[in-house]
Amino acid sequence: MRLLLFLPLVSVMVAVNLRIDPGNVTGTGELERRWAEELHAGHGVRAQSGYDEMLLQRRRAERMRQPPDVLVLGSSRSMTVSSASFPGLRLWNGSVSSATIEDYVAVEQLFEDRGLRPRSVLIGIDPWVLGASLRNNSVALEAELQRGLKRIGLEGAAERGALPPARHARWRYLELLSPAYFQASLSVVASGGWAALRRGRPQSNATPQASSTSGNLIYPDGSLDWAPRLADRSLEETKQLARKHSLHPPAYIMAKPLPERRRLLEAFVSRLRRDGVMVAFWFAPFHPDAYRGPGSSEHTSVIEAAEADFRALAVRLGCTVVGSFDPARAGAFEEDFVDEHHPRRAATLRLLRVGGPSALPALRTKD
């Protein structure tokens, strides 16, 4: 009888997990498969939020027959890096939202598994990447992650956050009863507001048409252009977001770097370098008002220290560096952003040209 008392709580947990489904437990993958086909055919796709970004990476990779000349790894701050920055070369943007180092490892392993190792890798570094407080919610590339960790000599070392490892297909629905999965669902709600509960995941019969007026536009190289609701923000709207960020920086920016995160990043980059892959770090800048706005002194010092740390790491690992978190140093202006730290597509192209003369030529050269 006592167990019955918990039934309402379990029901709520399952209902929320079903609605949000952060790990795509109930998804068939049909949406991501059809989008991959559209992209492979050279068509753009208007993607609503909530699709499985990691699964889309796999579906795209399944259709690739030649290794990329440049593989871009990073978070949403790196999603606007496009092949326009590397004319004549095959670029694959493998960035995913809230990326962790594990996501770098998993996406790169997609190419290792297929014998398509990239010639060079551009890693979009975020100042919080060593803090382990953010992660992409998908577990679609869990198997690739484990193989990648084994390859770099850190098997079982990853801290994947709230989501448990992927299980056999016939058992995956048990995740809906998992408190850990419920925690992941609540994280999505917290980041997207209660609108996430109303919206849920996109329907698998959605039409992948570039002519749609909503959603980010994904290009065949995997890069994107922001949805109109973001791209059409006025300068004043963007400034307000940046100032709010400056006054109330999110906790993940202030999180202290962890030694195990540093070891993971070093092991990953070191393995790439040993395999003859050229590696560059890209520091996407922040909106000027987010970086040095009112009340920003404490979090700006944290970001500055992180950049100095990553630059020293790049020297030790033999990587080149492009850009800066500091917009003044990077040559970025307030009109270059859609919010506090996401650059516009055109701005990214200009920033990579202006800010990377010492780094990008090596990645741009085929021979």
**C-alpha to C-alpha distances, 135 to 40, 104, 160, nearest whole angstrom:** 27, 11, 7
Lowest mean pLDDT among 117-131, 142-156, 188-202, 330-344: 188-202
Residue-level pLDDT at 18: 76
Residue-level pLDDT at 214: 72
Radius of gyration, alpha carbons of the chain: 20
> What is the 8-class DSSP label of residue 353?
H
- Dist CA 208 CA 62 (whole Å): 19
Q: What is the pTM of this model?
A: 0.81
In this predicted structure, the answer to whether residue 355 has a pLDDT above a threshold of 70 is no
- Dist CA 195 CA 201 (whole Å): 11
Choose between 198 and 322: higher pLDDT.
322
Residue-level pLDDT at 348: 97
What band does 111 get if pLDDT is binned at 50, 70 and 90?
A: very high
**What are the extents of the domains in the chain?**
2-364
Which residues, at least 6 apart from 290, have a Cβ–Cβ distance to it below 8 Å? 241, 242, 243, 245, 246, 296, 340, 341
Could you tell me the strand order of the sheet in which 45-47 lies?
Answer: 45-47, 216-218, 224-225
What band does 16 get if pLDDT is binned at 50, 70 and 90?
A: confident
Residue-level pLDDT at 172: 56
Average pLDDT, the chain: 83
Choose between 111 and 249: higher pLDDT.
111
Residue-level pLDDT at 366: 53
Percentage of the residues of the chain whose pLDDT score is greater than 90: 58
In this predicted structure, the answer to whether residue 82 has a pLDDT above a threshold of 90 is yes
Percentage of the residues of the chain whose pLDDT score is greater than 70: 77
pLDDT, tens digit (0-9, with 9 covering 90-100), for 26-59: 665 788 999 999 999 999 999 876 688 999 999 9
Residue-level pLDDT at 72: 98
> What torsion, rounded to 10 degrees, do the Cα atoms 107, 108, 114, 118 define?
140
In this predicted structure, the answer to whether residue 326 has a pLDDT above a threshold of 70 is yes
pLDDT, tens digit (0-9, with 9 covering 90-100), for 154-207: 876 655 443 444 444 444 566 677 776 676 677 556 545 455 455 554 443 333
Inter-residue contact 87 to 361 (CB < 8 Å): no
Structure tokens at 220: 């065949």
Q: Which helix (H) or strand (E) holds 5?
A: helix 2-5
Residue 187 CA neighbour count, 13 Å, CB half? 19
Structure tokens at 134: 């953010």
Residue-level pLDDT at 168: 43
Choose between 166 and 99: higher pLDDT.
99
> What is the 8-class DSSP label of residue 133?
-
Residue-level pLDDT at 170: 47
Residue-level pLDDT at 207: 38
Residue-level pLDDT at 195: 53
